């Protein structure tokens, strides 16, 4: 399987070289994952650029199998001596490992071949991002800072561009490689009167990011949050901006959309179970060009489009090779780099947009809250998807269908499943953002009730 332009480095030859060495060293099975990264970052604070850094790295990860004994080690060296040492150490460690009784073997190539839909995964690479210069990032940061200056606030944040090459070769016949690019601009603006505002975008193609628009959004929000008022804890209808919706998908992916979570009985997901309103559809699709496409996972398996929730009803979860084998399924192409104790994860989630303009999301609420994003969220009860956390960088009181005042941050304890069930309107615009594990494409949501359990002084 080959996706995107020809690799710039020797990642696939390196993977094949290490694979041959492992088999020569006695491995009954072996898998090699090579990741070559070129990452550059321009960071700014107090409305000044203070750091520009670039990093080039190569990681070679070897899964060495002796029967049912599995050792996984990695190295940052790609020279002959470093690769020889990697294989020697892996073989020695594997001989000392306990047998893994439920080991199902490494995955093989997809017998049906790459799907036609994965032609879209060629969009994983953009030359503009791969060739991005410090001057390009500095110009973007200048636009963000100019927007902050207009509002009399200070800008903080970072502008990152990266180019990644991923190659996987295993003894079962998988040979996968592709190049991926990504860019992310995020900023927090701070007002002298205590207001803060957040804005962010991510994209495969850096030219699709609008720094001036991001700066204006954050600056306006920072000024609008000056002198917040207190509101009591309680249940409120809410409008969640896309930055807050990202956390819902992240957490649901972590606690429920995984084959391992289902196997261990800690997932809420059951095929046919209704958990959301008819307006809620969530998929994971590595070929979706709105996000950051990926043709295959870190086991080299082609990524399938998986419908997680359709019109509020649970449909499926994602699998890697081992969880799929135990569930008598095929891997859906959601394996993470070995060793992987957390199981498979959806890295390309998309929530379907609705038809409601943003202003109408707000006008549909008589008294409630507008929340920009969440902070410091943690699961309280995974199976019920109860999460606790804080609001941050822009929380506002809505009265009579209008935003009337900024509000001090609130703590919440809320079932994200109950939140999905309470979705009464979905925004028509989608935003591509970085989640905790991958790209997330999300709209804004109006939710009938959200439980806030505490107040703050800020």
Which CATH number belongs to the domain containing residue 108 in this structure?
3.30.2290.10
Same domain? For 8 and 117 the reply is: yes
Same domain? For 52 and 140 the reply is: yes
Same domain? For 185 and 70 the reply is: yes
Same domain? For 388 and 430 the reply is: yes
Instruction: Say which residues have a Cβ less than 8 Å from residue 257's Cβ, sequence separation at least 6.
Output: 267, 269, 284, 308, 317, 318, 345, 346
Same domain? For 147 and 265 the reply is: no
| Other C-beta atoms lying within 10 Å of the C-beta of residue 24 | 10
Same domain? For 272 and 331 the reply is: yes
Residue 206 in tokens: 């850096």
| pLDDT on residue 112 | 67
Q: Looking at the predicted structure, is the pLDDT value of residue 3 above 80?
A: no
Among residues 197, 218, 239, the one where a domain terminates is 218
- Please give the Cα distance from 252 to 341 (Å, whole number): 18
Whole-prediction pTM: 0.94
Among residues 155, 190, 218, the one where a domain terminates is 218
* HSE-up of residue 297 (Cα within 13 Å, Cβ side): 31
Same domain? For 205 and 289 the reply is: no
192: three-class secondary structure by DSSP: coil
Across 434-438, average pLDDT: 90
| pLDDT on residue 118 | 43
- Please give the Cα distance from 202 to 447 (Å, whole number): 25
Among residues 218, 243, 273, the one where a domain terminates is 218
Instruction: Compute the chain's Rg from CA coordinates.
Output: 23
Residue 172 in tokens: 């079962």
Q: Residue 28 falls within a domain, yes or no?
A: yes
Contact predicate 142/44, CB 8 Å: no
Q: Residue 352 falls within a domain, yes or no?
A: yes
Instruction: Say which residues have a Cβ less than 8 Å from residue 6's Cβ, sequence separation at least 6.
Output: none
Same domain? For 284 and 395 the reply is: yes
Q: Residue 428 falls within a domain, yes or no?
A: yes
Q: Residue 253 falls within a domain, yes or no?
A: yes
Q: Residue 209 falls within a domain, yes or no?
A: yes
Same domain? For 292 and 164 the reply is: no
| pLDDT on residue 117 | 37
**Domain around 248:** 228-455
Residue 100 in tokens: 């893994």
Q: Residue 376 falls within a domain, yes or no?
A: yes
Q: Residue 223 falls within a domain, yes or no?
A: no
Q: pLDDT digits over 125-179, tens only?
A: 999 999 999 999 999 999 999 999 999 999 999 999 999 999 999 999 999 999 9
Same domain? For 199 and 334 the reply is: no
Calculate the dihedral angle through the C-alpha atoms of 247, 251, 252, 257, rounding to the nearest 10 degrees: 130
Percent of the chain topping pLDDT 70 = 95
Count of domains observed in the chain: 2
Across 446-450, average pLDDT: 98
Which residue, 392, 18, 354, is CA-closest to 228?
A: 392
| Other C-beta atoms lying within 10 Å of the C-beta of residue 223 | 19
Q: Residue 343 falls within a domain, yes or no?
A: yes
Same domain? For 144 and 253 the reply is: no
Same domain? For 440 and 361 the reply is: yes
């Amino acid at each position: 399987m080959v996706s995107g332009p020809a690799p710039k480095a020797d990642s696939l030859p390196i993977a094949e070289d290490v694979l041959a060495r492992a088999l020569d060293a006695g491995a009954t099975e072996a898998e090699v994952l090579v990741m070559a990264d070129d990452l550059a970052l321009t960071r700014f604070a107090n409305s000044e650029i203070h750091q520009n850094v670039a990093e080039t790295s190569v990681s070679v990860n070897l899964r060495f199998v002796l029967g049912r004994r599995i050792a996984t080690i990695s190295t940052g060296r790609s020279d002959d001596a470093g690769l020889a040492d990697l294989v020697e150490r892996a073989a020695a460690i594997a001989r000392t490992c306990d047998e893994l009784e439920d080991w199902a073997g490494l995955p093989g190539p997809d017998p049906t071949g790459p799907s036609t839909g994965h032609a879209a995964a060629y969009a994983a690479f953009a030359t503009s991002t791969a060739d991005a210069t410090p001057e390009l990032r500095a110009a973007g940061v200048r636009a963000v800072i100019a927007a902050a200056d207009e509002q009399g606030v200070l800008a903080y944040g970072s502008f990152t561009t990266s180019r990644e090459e991923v190659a996987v070769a295993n003894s079962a016949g998988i040979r996968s490689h592709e190049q991926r690019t990504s860019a992310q601009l995020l900023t927090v603006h701070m007002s002298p009167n205590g207001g803060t505002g957040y804005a962010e975008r991510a994209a495969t193609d850096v030219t699709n990011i609008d720094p001036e628009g991001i700066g204006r959004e954050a600056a306006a929000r920072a000024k609008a949050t000056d002198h917040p008022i207190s509101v009591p804890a309680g249940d409120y209808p809410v409008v969640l901006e896309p930055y807050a919706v990202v956390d819902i998908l992240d957490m649901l992916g972590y606690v429920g959309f995984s084959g391992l979570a289902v196997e261990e009985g800690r997932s809420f997901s059951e095929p046919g179970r209704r958990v959301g309103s008819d307006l809620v559809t969530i998929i994971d699709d590595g070929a979706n060009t709105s996000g950051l496409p990926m043709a295959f996972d870190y086991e080299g398996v082609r990524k399938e489009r998986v419908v997680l929730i359709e019109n509020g009803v649970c449909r499926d979860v994602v699998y890697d090779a081992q969880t799929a084998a135990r569930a008598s399924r095929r891997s859906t192409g959601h394996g993470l780099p070995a060793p992987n104790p957390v199981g498979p994860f959806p890295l390309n989630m998309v929530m379907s947009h609705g038809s409601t303009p943003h202003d109408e999301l707000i006008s549909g609420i008589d008294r409630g809250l507008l929340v920009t994003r969440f902070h410091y969220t943690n699961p309280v009860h995974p199976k019920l998807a109860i999460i606790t956390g804080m609001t941050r960088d822009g929380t506002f009181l809505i009265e009579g269908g209008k935003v009337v005042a900024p509000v001090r941050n609130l703590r919440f304890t809320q079932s994200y499943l109950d939140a999905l069930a309470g979705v009464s309107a979905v925004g028509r615009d989608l935003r591509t953002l970085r989640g905790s594990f991958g790209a997330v494409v999300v709209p804004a949501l109006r939710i009938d009730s959200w439980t806030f359990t505490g107040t703050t002084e800020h």
